[in-house]
Amino acid sequence: MKTIITSLCFLSFVAIGYGQNAKPKSQIMILENEGIFEGEITQEGDWYHIKRLLGETVVPTDRVLKIVDNITEAYKYLVRRANLSDPDEQIRLTKWCMTYDLRQEAVGHAEATLKLVPENTYAKYIIRSVKEMPPVPAAQDVKKVVPVVVETNLPPDFNQESLGVFVTRVQPIMMNTCASCHVGHENTKFVLQRVYAGTDRRTSLINLQAVLKYLDRNDVAKSPFLTNSIAAHGNLKNSPLRGKESAPYRHLEEWARNAFLKTEVAAADVSQIPQSTAAEEAQPLESPKPVSRPLLPRKTNSARTESASPATSTPATTAVSKTAEVKETPKATSTKPTEPIDPFDPEEFNKKK
């Protein structure tokens, strides 16, 4: 009995340790508008939490149709919900499959649409476009797929604020126009990874690193990432994007111009600095000159000097003038001054006789 209890305790500890070390797997959430989120999904009460590249997204449970393990299960679920006898439903499934790179499934729904509406131009366009795309590597060619080296460190001058724009705007454009030729093919140096809405951080960083290698910091307009998007290359007869005036290209160009930080030294034009300013900056700093202050007279013991001056007078002037008055005043002596002679004094009259 003790042996059984000991074994059960050991298995419990092993299970707990495995649960703590197990990495949460990525799942796909199908929303009520048939959009999808991919990431680590957990439920807390009436909310789903999806950990994604740009943080965590919270979705109420009543807006979620289903959570599946992969994109194939998501496709099968949407097919079961669709009315396949309705051409609009077939077109909706066709667009959904093209968005998430399910090309053969998209062709199947396009062909089903033509059976219902033979003149449907969108269905014909999808069938023609898929035929022009290079084939997806077969299962036996998996060994030939180019291995992807994940670089976790972005360039020092990469603008971190442009990461969100890349994930939400640039990457979806690449998935629609570039992924069919550049996902998992060995005949191209520009290798991408297939992503879906709200992909994980690792996959987006792989695609970001691939794009940054084809951006020209000195002349963004001549970057291969931009020039190849509006030029036919490889096995394509037409360019992926219509031209520089198309909205997708403008989004790519705007992001590319802000992908790297612009230092103030590189952006400043030294020739436009005024000559006077440059000369002043070239001069050595002078030692500070002493500040001149008015000289104040020394204090005296004279009562007149200590007397307060009027508020309207200048203190220095008043003090100096009073000091001068003190110096000009003769000192008092004990000798009695001589009295003046009176001409009518009788003694003086008798002396004259």
pLDDT tens digit string along 88-125? 999 999 999 988 878 899 999 999 999 999 999 999 98
Question: Are 222 and 161 members of one domain?
Answer: yes
Tokens 């060619």 appear where?
Answer: 141
pLDDT tens readout for residues 154-172: 788 888 888 888 888 888 8
Tell me the pLDDT band of 145, cut-offs 50, 70 and 90: very low
Q: Could you give the CA distance from residue 121 to residue 299 in angstroms, rounded to a whole number?
A: 109
Residue 205 in domain:
yes
Strands laid side by side in the 64-68 sheet: 55-60, 47-52, 36-44, 27-31, 64-68
pLDDT at 57: 83
Residue 88 in domain:
yes
What range does the domain containing 248 cover?
A: 142-262
Q: Of 212, 239, 262, which one is at a domain's C-terminal end?
A: 262
Closest CA to 212 of 282, 260, 180: 260
Question: Are 146 and 255 members of one domain?
Answer: yes
Residue 181 in domain:
yes
Higher-scoring residue by pLDDT: 16, 194: 194
CATH of the domain at 59: 2.30.30.100
Residue 290 in domain:
no
Question: Are 188 and 236 members of one domain?
Answer: yes
Question: Are 148 and 257 members of one domain?
Answer: yes
Residue 187 in domain:
yes
Please state, rounded to an integer, the average pLDDT across all residues of the chain.
Answer: 73
Q: Of 32, 49, 70, which one is at a domain's C-terminal end?
A: 70
pLDDT at 299: 55
Tally the C-alpha atoms within 13 A of residue 81's C-alpha that lie toward its C-beta: 14
Total domain count for the chain?
A: 3
pLDDT tens readout for residues 186-216: 667 888 887 765 556 778 888 888 899 899 9
Question: Are 151 and 121 members of one domain?
Answer: no
Q: Which two tokens stand for residue 39?
A: 């990431």
**What is the pTM (predicted TM-score) of this model?**
0.45
pLDDT at 160: 84
